[in-house]
Structure 1
Amino acid sequence: MRNPSVTCLLCALITVVLLCSAGCLHAPGNIAGTLTGNAPTPDISPAAPAPTGTSYVLVETLAPDTPAIPESPTCQPLVVPQETGDTIQENTFNFQYRSVPYSVTIPVNTSLYQAARNSPNKNLNLSGTNDTAALYRQMMNDPAMDPFFNDLIRELSKDRYKGGNNLTDDEYLEMVTSFVQQIPAENRTAGNPRYPVEVIADGKGTSDEKAMLLTGILSRQGYDTALLLFPGINRAGSGIGIRLATNHPSFRVFSDGRRDYLFIETSTTRLIGIYDDQIDTAPDPVVIPFGNGTLGYSHINFVMGIFADLRTMENQLKMYDEEAGPARQLTAYDYEAAVSYVNACEFVMSTNDRDAAYSAIRASQLSRHSACVTCG
């Protein structure tokens, strides 16, 4: 989803008729339009820039204290036939993390896949938040899923050490997030969700199904994580636990009443901690913590710097829209800045590479016109 102010600005800029008069650029129509510029090419279609806020704060990881989620008596564990010589299906996924290509081949036991596909849990009528939370917890914690997650984690861990490298815990979190984000998305809304094993076997998933997959991987590798469900907008994401250093952060935090979580997008490629307007304005989600992990994300302060710069550029674009007035005029200097902000926002909202995001912001005109957190 695109941010309305940036998307509008892009459209007028692409249709702009440049009529030079007294050093001004004339843009008929609303200046808030769409432009494709010379920003670095993102891996997938760009999304919307981050929403506005009030301050820039530091955060640190929070040691978990998992609250109890009520179990529903209607949820049933998977029944997997114990057959000799089970058939193994292998699916290969190609993805990019920080412009480096990765490939992972994941084995799937077809007996487990069929058991998940035919689970009676698919036909449950969920009557409220508790039933929803219980179903997702059952699907994530079912012992029958453990061999699948063990195989998946083993294969992903090979990429952690690709080419003699050794990704840090933060980098591994980013890499696994990139893997899940780049699994093809599906917008199916009917019925209860697929199990994580089905997402891998089918090679696609909805936002909640992919969020279950990511949360299942991270929770089994020591990360403090949660599943975030937004039923009002039919979206979901994962969360990484944080402790705030202020009661008034510049970004949205999601809580189960005991722990706070930072949003991780699963439906498209995006930096950890960055979200669009739809998530910003959505009602509070259902927060379902998983596991007892303690690992957090130490790069969050750098991401919040990017968040702050996105907010500043969005505010500058709104100012230019007002400045253009009924005549729809901007000076060449301001027009160049507006174009650079649009390009930077579009790229930053569609990348999983922190360094590339910094470069895109620094290549814009932000430091010449306003404060730039990431330009220092």
Structure 2
Amino acid sequence: MERKLLATLILVAMALGAGCADILPGPPVALPAIVPVEGASLDPLPAHTFPFEGGEETIRIDPDPAVYAGAKGADRRLHLARDLSREEWIPLYYRAFESEPHLEPFYADLLAALRDIRDREGLDDDRYLELIAVFVQSIPYRTDASIVEPKFPIETYVDGEGDCDDRSLLLAGLLAREGYGVALFYFEDEAHMAVGVQSTGCHYRNTSLAYIETTNVSYVGIPPLALSNGVVLASDPLVIPVGDGPRLYTGCDQIETIERALSSSLARAGALAPELAARTRDIEAERESLEAFGTRLKALSRDGEFLEYNRLVPEYNRKAREYNDAVQAYNALLAESRAAVDLHNHLVTHACDRPGSYLRARAYLAG
């Protein structure tokens, strides 16, 4: 994420004195809210096509134009009547975007479309969570440095784009309403947001949650080594609970196998690269030497120097065998390197298919 994750705060009233502070009447916090715009229209209706496991899926719903227009025109600032700590106001602020009451019909329609896919494909809870995650991850990433505040989830869907907090709010809202234990990960130091889901393993740092990156299609439970802008997530996130449902992600045994295969294949390809380069140079030198030797033998035969020719033939044949053995060994090493590279590239580009990736990863590690 490139834009700064900060709410626009307005401290509307706080009386200070030598003794007690007098707080003015009214609610202590005024949160961002949607006021539907009646008569608004929405054309054309969006459709989202995304990869999942072995194929593609398409989501089409009819979001309420009045709610979308109200979200677009909403005051996204957080108004405080008294001072709050960051640990207090940041969760209030972001949950206001995820849980705005006017969004419930939008969530219901979107989840109905996702459940249709779940039922058709016979997805269990883990694969259904992955379906929802890949759907959100596939929404094109776009950030605008001039915009500070996040979008309401209906905007992210209709606009067909969003940055890390936009997409994280949408994913967390969907998972919470499907009964998963879910939270937002707010990385203030790195200006980033992601999602955490309650899981039986692959816990992120000191939490009981598996990490889900929302800015690209990636595996549940495998945090990025670095963000797209090169930033490394070094800080501990502020965990903002969104849903406390009983559903857990239980695919971490397979995720850990995929992660081991990713690491192992990358390390093996990296280790083989300099050896392959050195062997290429050696084989090229041997080939040139062998070709020169062959040219000399042809000259001896042409000039009738058969005694010298016959004396050198065994040495030529020995060098030819050594060259062929070196080429064979090189080809075996090259095949091993290609297998590692192919496996790594496949796993990276098929994060939408955890079951298939697991089978490939397990076969590679077993071989």
Q: Quick one: which of 291, 301, 310 aligns to 2:243?
A: 291
SS of equivalent to 2:63: strand
2:265 matches 1:308: no
Task: Give the structure 1 partner of residue 102 of structure 2.
Answer: 144
Cα distance in 1, alignment partners of residues 144 and 281 from structure 2: 44
Shift of 1:109: 1.1
Alignment of 1:145-184 (within 5 A): 145-162=103-120, 165-184=121-140
2:34 matches 1:78: yes
Alpha carbons 2:261, 2:344 under 8 Å: kept: no
Shift of 1:220: 0.5
Alpha carbons 1:72, 1:131 under 8 Å: kept: no
Q: Identify the structure with bigger relative contact order (alpha carbons < 8 Å, sequence gap 6+).
A: 1
Provide closer, same or farther for how the CA distance between residues 281 and 136 of structure 1 changes in structure 2, counting only shifts above 3 A.
closer
Task: Give the structure 2 partner of residue 131 of structure 1.
Answer: 89
Query: What are the Cα deviations for residues 69-123 of structure 1, in whole angstroms up to 9, with x where unaligned?
Result: xx97142332235x4x764663211112102221111211121112211221258
Cα distance in 1, alignment partners of residues 203 and 243 from structure 2: 23
Task: Give the structure 2 partner of residue 276 of structure 1.
Answer: 224
Q: Quick one: which of 193, 201, 212 aligns to 2:158?
A: 201
Task: Give the structure 2 partner of residue 340 of structure 1.
Answer: 339
SS of equivalent to 1:287: strand
Cα distance in 2, alignment partners of residues 314 and 124 from structure 1: 49
Alpha carbons 1:91, 1:105 under 8 Å: kept: yes
Provide closer, same or farther for how the CA distance between residues 254 and 227 of structure 1 changes in structure 2, counting only shifts above 3 A.
farther
Task: Give the structure 1 partner of residue 56 of structure 2.
Answer: 101
SS of equivalent to 2:246: coil
Provide closer, same or farther for how the CA distance between residues 88 and 156 of structure 1 changes in structure 2, counting only shifts above 3 A.
farther
Shift of 1:141: 1.5
Provide closer, same or farther for how the CA distance between residues 325 and 88 of structure 1 changes in structure 2, counting only shifts above 3 A.
closer
Alpha carbons 1:271, 1:349 under 8 Å: kept: no
Alignment of 1:1-376 (within 5 A): 73-81=29-37, 83=38, 87=41, 90-122=45-77, 128-162=86-120, 165-189=121-145, 190-244=147-201, 253-255=204-206, 259-278=207-226, 281-320=233-272, 331-351=330-350, 352-361=352-361, 366=364, 372=365, 375=366
Shift of 1:339: 2.7
List alignment gaps of at least 5 residues for structure 1.
2-70, 245-250, 367-371
Alpha carbons 1:226, 1:288 under 8 Å: kept: yes
SS of equivalent to 2:334: helix
Name the amino acid aligned to 1:222. Answer: G
Name the amino acid aligned to 1:151. Answer: D
Provide closer, same or farther for how the CA distance between residues 110 and 219 of structure 1 changes in structure 2, counting only shifts above 3 A.
same
Task: Give the structure 2 partner of residue 67 of structure 1.
Answer: none
Query: What are the Cα deviations for residues 147-201 of structure 1, in whole angstroms up to 9, with x where unaligned?
Result: 2111211222222223xx4322122111111111111111334311111010111
Provide closer, same or farther for how the CA distance between residues 339 and 234 of structure 1 changes in structure 2, counting only shifts above 3 A.
farther
Shift of 1:214: 0.8
Query: What are the Cα deviations for residues 106-147 of structure 1, in whole angstroms up to 9, with x where unaligned?
Result: 211121112211221258799845433221111112212212
Alpha carbons 2:29, 2:79 under 8 Å: kept: no
Alpha carbons 1:107, 1:152 under 8 Å: kept: no
Cα-Cα RMSD: 3.2
SS of equivalent to 1:233: coil
Cα distance in 2, alignment partners of residues 148 and 239 from structure 1: 22
SS of equivalent to 1:120: coil
Cα distance in 2, alignment partners of residues 273 and 329 from structure 1: 42
**Greater mean alpha carbon deviation, residues 322-331 or residues 85-94:** 322-331
Shift of 1:296: 1.0
The structure with the larger Rg is 2
Alpha carbons 2:258, 2:362 under 8 Å: kept: no
Shift of 1:323: 5.1
Query: What are the Cα deviations for residues 235-276 of structure 1, in whole angstroms up to 9, with x where unaligned?
Result: 3221111355xxxxxx66145xxx521111211112222232
Shift of 1:223: 0.6
List alignment gaps of at least 5 residues for structure 2.
2-26, 283-329
Cα distance in 2, alignment partners of residues 97 and 307 from structure 1: 19
Name the amino acid aligned to 1:316. Answer: R
TM-score, normalization by structure 1? 0.67
TM-score, normalization by structure 2? 0.68
Name the amino acid aligned to 1:99. Answer: G
**Greater mean alpha carbon deviation, residues 322-331 or residues 218-227:** 322-331
Paired residue total: 285
Cα distance in 2, alignment partners of residues 72 and 231 from structure 1: 24
